[in-house]
């Protein structure tokens, strides 16, 4: 209890503007409840988070490990973003039944489709174990000893709370290792596609509109969670039944107004609000530029082949979308962090920290800033190199083959009873990969890497380029000619006659191993600096909290459930938006962007017909327009995609799906004036399901507040 009170005092001691912060549910009553009530909340903290009774948290799930989703019916119906369901929809699509392009709505539960791998994670409870863990360590330990001790205690906590494997237990570090909490989850793996709008609606605006406002995107898709007859998680079976959730969200279609209360529950992936100035500088000048250049190269290669073949387009659609999203994000981060001089601002605050640390009573913090800056100075060039190489791995399946298909075939070569797994792995690789694309991807990404990384190269590339003076293209042409993995026939021949020796000497396997080993390699200077850095970063955060110098008082996002609250909130007037006020968009604006046949701005004729006839059903605003997207000032980041936007009664009014380019630095610093969350209006979602798709039975399954 003492430890919790200390943590709360550190939180409360320097409260921030209401729309900033990603808050733990277990502390809402003490930290946020009164503030939220003043803004319009009508629920108690117990109605939001309860261990023993149903509450809002029981309707919120992590979707497939990377997004958020919510239960919207008593029959396990799940709502999330279109881009969150993108990979599952693409997997289920074929050139003959292209659900990704044309959309899909199951007429009944029997038509709902199960992707190969998809799960949702329910949050059960959390608790503070900071004292238990930190009592096991002391200042005399090295960082390695400290981490080993902490990991041992974490394993015990996870085992104690898993109830024999019933639950997934995760112990997470917060405030850079100064606090620890455990989270208990339950996973359901039988999750089936119920419906999706066509890509021309769900991805309307494409890369051009990504991170931009005004937006006109119907970014949603729907799934259903299935369980066994007792409501427990179960592997896919036709005998499974729709899950009866403890709570599902009612859907409110009364509409929104400026300054309405809005809160979002979800799983924000990663923020770096505590990042030192040196880390920001390293990202802006070394890491992110490499990411941007390499991402664009990978996109160009994929696009070349995707444009020629529908099957390739479907196989690589999700990967392309992910790379494109980060390409624009990282460039936006560079621009925003540079414009707002965020590193310089942080550096000024760190000078104040140094003065505070140099007081006699703060001797433990004296060298903190020096050790941090020394580390970044030593690793700047490596950060650029690592991001170029990281994008080789993200772009090329061949670059990581030794950890994927190659590993499966290695096990098969040792144990031929694994023939079924080996055949399945080869089949999956061939079905989801275009070998010509993969060869060109590896060639182009390695060419960029060797040209731009300006750092020590992996031994094999260095040997061929510098010792043999062989052009990279010639070297890779030899690799492709000799590897079994560049030929369907050679892979199938290996399945018939497996050879460990052949695999060990396969040139792509060897190259993949060397690339991965090189990425994780280090030297004694960096390891020594990293040891000091880890300790210094932990002490910086600890000292910033104790000194009151940090403007941030909440922990960084790390894919754990958080609540953020604020209001429906406009940006300054934008002439591109036809709406009366710049906090919402309309179907009129969508149709105004329409470009027939364009990859990003095409629209289905049925939607245009509904607009022209003004056939909006009960989903139109009182002023007669069909709402599409709206803005709030909630604090979110990647991972919040698909998160429910809720009114003061806990009713669903929209889905969060994006941020705005004006505040692209939001993962590092929150801008109270410009940072917004872009949301799909729930009325547009229901309009598309009911009036456009004709799937009224899905709407009738929900609890709709009119």
Selection from 552, 556, 551, 550 nearest residue 176 by Cα: 556
**Whether 368 contacts 542, CB under 8 Å:** no
Strand partners, 196: 104
CA distance 80 to 147: 37
Selection from 47, 50, 13 nearest residue 126 by Cα: 50
Q: What angle do CA 19, 25, 30 make, to 5 degrees?
A: 80
**Whether 536 contacts 371, CB under 8 Å:** yes
**Whether 705 contacts 251, CB under 8 Å:** yes
CA distance 461 to 533: 31
Scored b (16 or more CB within 10 A) or e, 651-677 reads bbbbbbbbbbbbbbbbbbbbbeebbbb
The count of other CB atoms within 10 Å of the CB of residue 469 is: 7
List all residues 6 or more positions away from 484 whose beta carbon is below 8 Å from its beta carbon. Answer: 490, 491, 493, 494, 502, 503, 506
H/E run at residue 491: helix 488-496
**Whether 469 contacts 461, CB under 8 Å:** no
Looking from the CA of 185 toward its CB, the CA atoms found within 13 Å total 22
Selection from 31, 6, 67 nearest residue 565 by Cα: 31
Would you please indicate which residues are annotated as catalytic (active-site) residues?
83, 219, 641
Task: Tell me the three state secondary structure of residue 170.
Answer: strand
Six-digit token pair at 649? 């009664």
Cα distances from 295 to residues 37, 300, 323, 517, 639, in angstroms, run 44, 9, 6, 22, 20
Q: Please classify residue 326 by burial: count the beta carbons closer than 10 Å to its beta carbon, then call 0-12 exposed, 13-18 middle and 19+ buried.
A: middle
CA distance 118 to 96: 23
Give the dihedral sign, CA 118/123/129/134. positive
Task: Tell me the three state secondary structure of residue 585.
Answer: strand
CA distance 148 to 137: 10
CA distance 681 to 378: 48
Six-digit token pair at 333? 């981060």
Selection from 431, 429, 436 nearest residue 400 by Cα: 429
Strand 67-71 with 60-63, pairing: antiparallel
Cα distances from 135 to residues 3, 6, 150, in angstroms, run 11, 15, 10
State how far Cα 185 lies from the chain centre. 18
Main-chain phi, psi angles of 252, to 5 degrees: -105, 120
H/E run at residue 387: helix 368-395
Scored b (16 or more CB within 10 A) or e, 62-77 reads bbbebbbbbbbbebbb
Strand partners, 63: 67, 120
CA distance 404 to 411: 11
């Amino acid at each position: 209890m003492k430890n919790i009170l200390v943590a709360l005092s550190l939180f409360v001691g320097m409260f921030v503007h209401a729309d900033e912060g990603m808050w733990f549910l277990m502390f809402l009553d003490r930290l946020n409840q009164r503030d939220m009530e003043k803004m319009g909340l009508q629920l108690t903290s117990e109605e939001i988070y309860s261990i023993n009774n149903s509450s809002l948290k029981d309707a919120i799930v992590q979707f497939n490990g990377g997004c958020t989703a919510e239960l919207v019916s008593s029959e396990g119906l799940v709502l999330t973003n279109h881009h969150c369901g993108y990979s599952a929809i693409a997997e289920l699509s074929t050139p003959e039944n292209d659900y990704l392009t044309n959309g899909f709505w199951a007429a009944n539960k029997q038509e709902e489709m199960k992707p190969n791998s998809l799960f949702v994670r329910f949050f059960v409870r959390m608790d503070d174990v900071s004292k238990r863990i930190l009592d096991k360590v002391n200042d005399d330990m090295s960082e390695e000893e400290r981490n080993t001790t902490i990991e041992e205690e974490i394993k015990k906590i996870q085992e104690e709370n898993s109830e024999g494997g019933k639950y997934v237990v995760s112990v997470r570090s917060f405030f850079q290792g100064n606090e620890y909490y455990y989270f208990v989850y339950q996973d359901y793996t039988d999750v089936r596609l119920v419906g999706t709008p066509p890509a021309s609606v769900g991805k309307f605006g494409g890369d051009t509109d990504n991170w931009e406002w005004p937006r006109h995107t119907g970014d949603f898709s729907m799934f259903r969670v299935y369980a066994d007859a007792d409501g427990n998680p179960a592997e896919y079976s036709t005998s499974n039944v729709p899950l009866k959730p403890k709570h599902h969200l009612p859907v409110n279609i009364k509409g929104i107004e400026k300054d309405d209360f809005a809160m979002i529950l979800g799983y924000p992936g990663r923020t770096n609000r505590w990042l030192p100035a040196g880390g920001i500088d390293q990202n802006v000048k070394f890491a992110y530029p490499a990411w941007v250049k390499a991402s664009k190269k990978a996109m160009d290669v994929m696009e070349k082949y995707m444009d020629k073949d529908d099957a390739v387009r479907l196989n690589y659609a999700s990967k392309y979308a992910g790379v494109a999203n980060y390409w624009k994000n990282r460039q936006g981060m560079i621009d925003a962090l540079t414009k707002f001089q965020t590193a310089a601002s942080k550096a000024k605050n760190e000078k104040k920290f140094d003065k505070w640390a140099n007081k006699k009573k703060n001797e433990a913090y004296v060298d903190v800033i020096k050790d941090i800056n020394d580390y970044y100075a030593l690793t700047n060039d490596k950060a650029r190199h690592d991001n170029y190489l990281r994008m080789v791995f993200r772009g090329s399946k061949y670059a990581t083959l030794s950890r994927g298909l190659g590993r499966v075939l290695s096990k098969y070569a040792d144990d031929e009873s694994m023939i079924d797994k080996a055949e399945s792995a080869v089949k999956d690789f061939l079905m989801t990969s275009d070998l010509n694309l993969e060869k060109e991807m590896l060639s182009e990404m390695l060419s960029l890497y060797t040209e731009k990384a300006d750092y020590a190269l992996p031994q094999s590339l260095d040997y061929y380029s510098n010792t043999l003076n062989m052009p990279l293209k010639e070297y890779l042409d030899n690799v492709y000619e000799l590897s079994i993995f560049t030929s369907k026939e050679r892979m199938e021949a290996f399945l018939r006659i497996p050879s460990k020796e052949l695999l060990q000497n396969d040139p792509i396997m060897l190259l993949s191993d060397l690339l991965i080993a090189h990425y994780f390699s280090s030297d004694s200077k960096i390891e020594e600096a990293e040891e000091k850095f880890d300790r210094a970063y932990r002490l910086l955060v600890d000292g910033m909290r104790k000194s009151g110098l940090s403007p941030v008082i909440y922990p960084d996002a790390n894919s754990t459930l958080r609540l953020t609250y604020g209001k429906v909130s406009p940006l300054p007037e934008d002439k591109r938006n036809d709406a009366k006020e710049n906090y919402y968009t309309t179907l009129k604006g969508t149709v105004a962007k329409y470009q027939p046949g364009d990859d990003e701005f095409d629209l289905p004729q049925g939607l245009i017909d509904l607009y022209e006839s003004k056939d909006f059903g009960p989903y139109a605003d009182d002023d007669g327009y069909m709402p599409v997207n709206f803005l709030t000032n909630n604090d979110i980041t990647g991972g919040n995609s698909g998160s429910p936007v809720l009114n003061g009664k806990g009713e669903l009014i929209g889905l969060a799906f994006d941020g705005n380019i004006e505040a692209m630095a939001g993962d590092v610093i929150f801008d109270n004036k410009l940072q917004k969350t872009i949301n799909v209006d729930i009325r547009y979602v229901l309009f598309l399901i009911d009036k456009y798709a004709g799937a009224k039975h899905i709407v009738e399954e929900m609890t709709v507040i009119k």
